[in-house]
Structure 1
Amino acid sequence: MNLEITVDDLKTQLASANPPLLLDVREPWEYDTAHIEGSTLMPMGDVPKRAFQELDEDKPILVLCHHGARSLNVTVWLRNQGFPYAQSVAGGIDAWSRAIDPHVPRY
């Protein structure tokens, strides 16, 4: 399983009958500025203390940030902790705004 998926893949997966968890690892002010409906906010710094209580290692987790760097770091960490279905959204919410949904504000 690839470490990253495209925003086109994200759109397809979110529209499926059994969508994955979309984990937004940005800060609350970023989430308040722009987010994808249905995403779960868990700032990057909170992931180590919340992952084992709130995430299911047997289900797909798509990790999102602003441009894709934080989400890739979190994805690698999750994989190393036993979450094999974690994937980072390449380009982050900025790529989503540009390619998929221009109504999501860019910042």
Structure 2
Amino acid sequence: MSSPAPQLPDAAVTMEISPEAMAEWIALPPEERPRVIDCREADELAICQIEGNEWIPLGDFPTVREKLLARNERGVVVYCHHGVRSLRGAQWLRAIGVERAFSMRGGIEDWAVRVDPSVARY
């Protein structure tokens, strides 16, 4: 018997998720996992990324507002280098009506340390 799919935390309680929780979610089939947005810049994306992400730099969020409002029924997890920009991105998404928007705490740096050491650190 398989275990139930991991659930996003209560948005009223936290705005951040751990890299370990993110790893559980991205292991799910694409139709079951939250939307994952990498909000870093192009030069950072060229260094490393988490598989299955959608790349939308934080500075572009206002210009792609409608795109960001779509496909959020399973929630959204935003990540960056250290978790600062992604927290701003998750806050912005919540402000425009995406209730289940979260930031991956510690960014891809923590991901490389705690989940996948093969990811380049910079």
| TM-score band w.r.t. shorter chain | over 0.9
- The answer to whether 1:23 aligns with 2:33 is no
Q: What fraction of aligned residue pairs are identical, expressed as a percent?
A: 36
Displacement of 1:28? 0.6
Superposed CA RMSD in Å reads: 1.2
- The answer to whether 1:65 aligns with 2:77 is no
Matches within 5 A, 1:23-102: 23-54=37-68, 55-102=70-117
Displacement of 1:52? 1.3
Structure with the largest fraction of helix: 1
- Greater radius of gyration (CA): 2
Q: In the comparison of the two structures, how many residue pairs are matched?
A: 107
Aligned partner of 2:25: which letter? Q
2:33 is paired with a residue of what secondary structure? coil
**57-66 or 41-50: which moved more?**
57-66
**Unaligned 5+ residue runs, structure 1?**
none
Displacement of 1:56? 2.6
**Unaligned 5+ residue runs, structure 2?**
1-10
- For 1:11, the equivalent position in structure 2 comes to 23
1:30 is paired with a residue of what secondary structure? helix
Distance 1:23 1:8 in 2: 16
Displacement of 1:5? 0.2
Larger RCO, structure (CA 8 Å, separation 6 or more): 1
Distance 1:51 1:32 in 2: 24
2:89 is paired with a residue of what secondary structure? helix
TM-score under structure 2 length normalisation: 0.83
